[in-house]
Each structure stands twice: as C-alpha cells, then as structure tokens.
Amino acid sequence: MDTHFDLLVIGFGKGGKTLAATLGRLGRRVAMIEQSDQMYGGTCINIGCVPTKSLVYHAEHRTAAAPGEQHRTAVEATRELTTKLRGANFSMLDTIDTVTVITGRAEFLDPTSVRVTAGDDVLTLTADTIVINTGAVPTVPDIPGLRDSAHALVSTDLITIEHLPKRLAILGGGYVGVEFASIYAQFGSAVTVLDSASRVMPREDADIAETATEILRGAGAEFLFDVRVTRVRDLDNGVEITYDAGGTAHTLAADKVLVATGRAPATEGLGLDKAGVRTTPTGAVAVDDQLRTSRPHIFAVGDVNGGPQFTYISLDDSRIVADQLIGDGRRSTADRTVVPYTVFMSPALSRVGLTEDQARERGLPVKILEKAIADIAAMPRAKIVEETRGRMKFVVHRETDRVLGAALLSVDSQELINTVALAMRHDVTARELRDAIYTHPSSTEAFNEVLGTPPRGQ
C-alpha cells in the first residue's frame, strides 16, 4: 500500500477517531494506528467510562441473586456491551474508503516518519500531519511488594474479573477510588479505602466530601485516612497491607488491592525524542493553546497532553485541531470555559465552576444556597426512585447573582450539571434559574427550591 498519508493518528481514542473520521469523509488519506484490537474506540469505551458506568448501573439495581452471581452477570453484560461498541467504532473508520486502520505499536523515527510493528511485520509510514492520541495509564506507587503482588490490580484489571472479592482494599480516596468503593460496596464486597489525605476527594469542599463519605459508609465502605501504606505482602489466601497511622504500624488483610492513585500520560516507547517533540515535567506531551507540539505539524489530543482527563475534553481537542487543519484556525483551548465533571458514585456527584473554598480564597463576595436532597419538597423524583441521599450546593456572587459554581450530589446530577454549566456560560443568574419552568416530576425542578432558600454567608 501507499505509505504516505495526509493525516496519521496514533491511538484510537475519542479525539483521534473523531479527527480521522472527519478528514476521511473529506477524502483525505488517513492512517489510524492502534496497538491493540481490544482498544478500538479508545479508553472510554473499552476500559474506562462505559464499562465502569455499566458496573455502576448493575450495582445500583440489586436483584435477588447472590452478590457474587449478580457481580458475575454484570461483568458479562459489560463485556458484551464493550465488545459491541468496539466493533461499531472499528466499522466507523473501516467503512470510510480513505481511512486505513493499522494494528501495531507506533514509534517515531523522525518528525515525519513512524514505524509500526506488529509481531514480525514492520511498516514505515510518513504523513503531513500527525496526531498523538495515546491516552493515559494507571500509575502504581513504589511501595515495597505492591508491583510484584499477584493480588494488586489497577482499574482496567478489576473491571474484568468475574470473581467478586470478598475483601477489597483501595489505595487512594480520589475520584477513581470513590467510584470503585461505591460500586463494589454495593455489590457486597467489604471495601476499605486507605488514603494519606484527611478525607476523600480533597479538591471538593469539606461538607460535600463529608456527605459523600457518609453515603459510602452507609453502603458498607470503610475509610482509613491520614495513613501511609508501607508494604504489601502476598499470603496464601490474599494479601496483607501494612500501613502507618500516627507513627504506629497496622495491618489489613484483603483478597484484592485496587491501586487508584492516579494516571499518567502514555508516552513510553513513542520515540518522541526522535521526532523532536518536547514533554512537560509530568511526562505529558507539551502543547500550545491550539494543541500543537514543539513540531508544528504534530498535535497531541486527549489525556496524553496533560489536560483534564475527560472524554469530552478529548472530543473538544479534536474540534480545535480540525479547525487548524480545515477551518479558520481561530479555535483554541482558551475558548474552553465552565467545564463540568461527574464522579459516578451512587448517587453521582457532579460539579462545575468554583467551590466555596476557592471563591472565598479569591476574596469574592458569595452567598451559599444549599439543601439536603431529602429536604427538597419540590423534587418528588428523588422520592419516586427512592434515592434521597445527597445535597445540592450553589456558590453565587452576592452582588451580581451570577452562579460561580455548583456541587450536585444527587440522583440525575450528571444531567443537571450540564444545565448549570450552560447557564454559567451565558451569564444566566441564580434568580433566573430559580424562576425557570421545569418539567414535573423531574430532578431539575429542585433548582426552584434550592435557589430560593435563605442564603448562607450573606
């Protein structure tokens, strides 16, 4: 085949596949390189958002089956779903005449040449434009015995095992740790979270983190805060974790250990130095506001460029790069404002904008409008679906009435937060959100009541 392309994409993630499809449909010659046929479609579909949220759904909808059986059924259903989506994603590109999908490992030979290796087969490809879209990988801290343990797992491992761990230890109380604590506690595992911080999700306001912790404890999860794990040792029937708490050594026994201590950009083996592509001190591919690397014809999109690790950010990255290649070239990351996110515990925690702590640290005059979900009379949906746990909290500018931020720990929050974010982008006031007409019974109509409560901090 002809080995020169208009566009060469390394990695089948959201941003890369969107660019490949967009330019392919315009008749440009595109090569999509993915190192594994089990990763067509990228992290989200295969080992990230989709499978974990499938497990969230199954964990929330308990049946009469034994915990282990329900978990096994959930894993099987999740596997079927990801297999179907992986095939659909492959077809999305494979059916475009000018797009070629190549399975193999990519490595730069120079700024315009990439070698692709698949077993004994080797191809050398060149391209006018190259996009790096290799994502991120879980990090494993250098704790004695952890990396060699047969019972230590990262998130991509845990979601595939069919045997439900009776005792699951989670290292890390960040967003990933919280999600998995919620999932597996609901499935019936005895979950213990160990973290060096004094609470879960330290980027959130303390009151929101405490409400989330109470919910997780109610589901059966336990927490060990302000501890330092010093050793992991395999036993015949599981693993022993040694940790320090206040200068005293303790041990915890578990069947499996989930390492949820963060993710790092996946750049190992790419040969970026040969291409003259610079990286940041954290190992991410360094990019400018238009996602160009130190080589102007090479871009980096998605988690690998060190930005927020969300699929929808990768999608927006693809729009920025497409604008450079086939648009007017004005779009940049500077245009990206008010980006919401969701932690899919049960119920989900969704947030956008400033926390109360951040607003006060900036010296902004704020009022806090908040209410426990169980106390919101105008939100019957929560009672209908029997999910009244959680809290809604809005941070509002006292003088302009603009919404500065919101934390929604409630049923349907992953949908509600998008309405709040849209309102913030267009300077809709808290009063306008309060007085808007919402369908009934819906979760959105909670805004009518919460935004009309007597404010705190005024």
As annotated, the active-site residues are 440
With H, G, I as helix, E, B as strand and everything else as coil, classify residue 404: strand
At position 393, the amino acid (one-letter code) is K
Element (H, E) at 376: none
End-to-end CA distance of the chain: 69
CA distances from 232 to 155, 222, 429 (A): 18, 19, 52
Q: Report the SS3 class of residue 24.
A: helix
How far is Cα 187 from Cα 74, in angstroms, rounded to an integer? Answer: 10
- 3-class SS of residue 297: coil
Q: Could you tell me how many residues make up the chain?
A: 458
DSSP symbols for 125-155: EEEEEEEE---EEE-----TTTTT-TTEE-H
Q: What's the rounded Cα separation, in Å, for the pair 444 and 355?
A: 20
Q: Interhelix angle for 67-94 vs 14-25, to 10°?
A: 30
Q: Pinpoint the alpha helices (H) of 190-340.
A: 206-219, 272-275, 311-326
